[in-house]
Chain A
């Protein structure tokens, strides 16, 4: 028998996988290349230039939308991570108790419903509240983002907690540490990589959201993605490529960080 018979080989699978990886990255590569195009048209190559980055940087609408995205993302990520950490502490490392299954379902609910349905629901609900209170600030967007970020932040934190046994905490309690001190000195440091991963995930999810933001925002509350959606619908210039490239760079940086944080074994 042939000694080089590989049990892991399946005909054509490697070719399909290679195609997949090429297809996944090729469009992004083309998009990035055209961000450096000197021509005004997005179809011809007019030489290398950074002018579209400059033009995006000088566009006050772009800067406004970017700052708003960061502001909403930062607040929503911090809030959702704090809430998710508390919820994860409450739903792990315990015998089943009444309401536990309900909590799992409730926390994961935003993942089960298509975004468009949540978006419509929030549009209706918040427009009522707007009429009652007269308030039309960023609070609505922050609340919406915090809600749909919670299940994402919860995921890595819960995974981390489930791999931590209670031995160290019990030892601390045996040595007369108060529950708060045990949490500060034992649980929190051990849980930290999970919390950090949750925070980054929540931030990326908030930064990427289009649908819910598009429906909930009031006039003049464009985030970077909703601004870009509006521009793409109107017709495209290489400026969108430049903004996308900057955005991509940020996402890749965060994902790389996330990858290292969540892969790190203690």
Chain B
């Protein structure tokens, strides 16, 4: 006879097995069409490029060497690959500035939304959600029409006589920056709003009772309480901005490449799949570092609401 304990244990094992079976299809699809292929990229980054794209099956560390270095064709010495370093630096800088810009605009917006009455809050949330779910390509295209030489910004500037010739914004780093800040703004607002909504304004009131200034209340009370939202928003903006493909391809033109355009180039005209793979892994490593920093930071901030 099985004891009650054994019966319970068997039932639990059955339950866990059932739960694995239930989640199997989702895990399998993700393994086959998302996670698994990433491992192949790692393998490819250690192979030699084939003459017409793809790879030759022989070990080579050249791809990894040429992520940041280039070999001189005459004397075989290695030097810093200026083009790659420029693109890495541009991507990280633009993603960082985009994050800061969306934070500067998104924080007050989230605060404004969270301080509305309960009924109107849903409406504001809806208004910020619509751009979030509309096609990123279309929103980038909308920015293109605003900032190009014949766009409304330049038309207005010309009509008012402020400038005599159109200001070239399109196909510059500034254009990429404007485009990314525009398309990723909702990603910053939404998580900050989520923390702000739970904010206990009695704490703010207590601050004012103790003669704190508006700025002091903002900096010493509100900001620490919504910090998890700020960090989440920053991560949500920084990661896609670093790997942005659509925005720099449309607004940046050919000269202002970002990492994703450099990677695409290796799989197209560049015909250097191993280098493209190594660059992809490098992007992923940068993202992982950012995510780890986030997790550690989120663990540290032990401020609780109420």
Name the B residues within 8 Å of A65 (CB-CB). Answer: none
Q: How big is the B interface, by class?
A: 35 or more
Contact digits for A203-231, partner B, Cβ 8 Å, 1 yes 0 no: 01001101100110000000001001100
Contact digits for B171-200, partner A, Cβ 8 Å, 1 yes 0 no: 000000000001001100100000000000
Known: A117-B41, A121-B41. Contact between A244 and B138, CB under 8 A?
Answer: yes
Name the A residues within 8 Å of B138 (CB-CB). Answer: 28, 31, 228, 244, 247-248
Query: Once the chains bind, are B32 and A27 in contact (CB under 8 Å)?
Result: no
Query: Once the chains bind, are B267 and A120 in contact (CB under 8 Å)?
Result: yes
Considering the chains assembled together, what is the distance between the CA atoms of A147 and B242 in angstroms? 22
Query: Once the chains bind, are A28 and B134 in contact (CB under 8 Å)?
Result: yes
At the interface, yes or no: A125 with Cβ under 8 Å from chain B? yes
Known: A13-B112, A121-B41, A233-B249. Contact between A244 and B141, CB under 8 A?
Answer: yes
Name the B residues within 8 Å of A121 (CB-CB). Answer: 34, 37-38, 40-41, 280
Considering the chains assembled together, what is the distance between the CA atoms of A5 and B217 in angstroms? 14
At the interface, yes or no: A175 with Cβ under 8 Å from chain B? no
Considering the chains assembled together, what is the distance between the CA atoms of A258 and B284 in angstroms? 32
Query: Once the chains bind, are A210 and B280 in contact (CB under 8 Å)?
Result: no
**Chain A facing B: main interface SS:** helix
Q: Select the stretch in A79-87, A166-174, A185-193 that faces chain B.
A: A79-87
Query: Which of A10, A31, A211 has a CB less than 8 Å from the CB of B246?
Result: A211
Contact digits for A84-98, partner B, Cβ 8 Å, 1 yes 0 no: 101101110010011
* Chain A stretch 16-60: residues in CB contact (< 8 A) with chain B: 16-17, 19-21, 23-28, 30-31, 34, 42-43
At the interface, yes or no: B27 with Cβ under 8 Å from chain A? yes
B127 nearest CB neighbor, chain A only: A21
Query: Once the chains bind, are A117 and B201 in contact (CB under 8 Å)?
Result: no
Query: Once the chains bind, are A114 and B283 in contact (CB under 8 Å)?
Result: yes
Q: Select the stretch in B64-72, B76-84, B144-152 that faces chain A.
A: B144-152
Instruction: Pick the most buried of A8, A114, A215: most chain B CB atoms within 10 A of its CB.
Output: A114
CB<8 Å pairs between A and B, sample of 10: A17-B108, A20-B185, A26-B146, A106-B31, A112-B287, A121-B38, A146-B33, A147-B33, A225-B135, A251-B133
On B, residues with C-beta under 8 Å from A are 15-16, 18-20, 22-23, 25-27, 29-38, 40-41, 44, 54, 105-106, 108-109, 111-113, 115, 122, 126-131, 133-139, 141-146, 150-152, 155, 182, 185-186, 189, 201, 204-205, 208, 214, 218, 239-240, 242-243, 245-246, 249-250, 259-260, 263-264, 267, 273, 276-277, 280-281, 283-284, 287, 291
On A, residues with C-beta under 8 Å from B are 5, 7-14, 16-17, 19-21, 23-28, 30-31, 34, 42-43, 79-80, 82-84, 86-87, 89-91, 94, 97-99, 103, 106-107, 109-110, 112-125, 127-128, 143-144, 146-148, 150, 154, 204, 207-208, 210-211, 214-215, 225, 228-229, 232-233, 236, 240-241, 244, 247-248, 251-252, 254-256, 258-259, 263
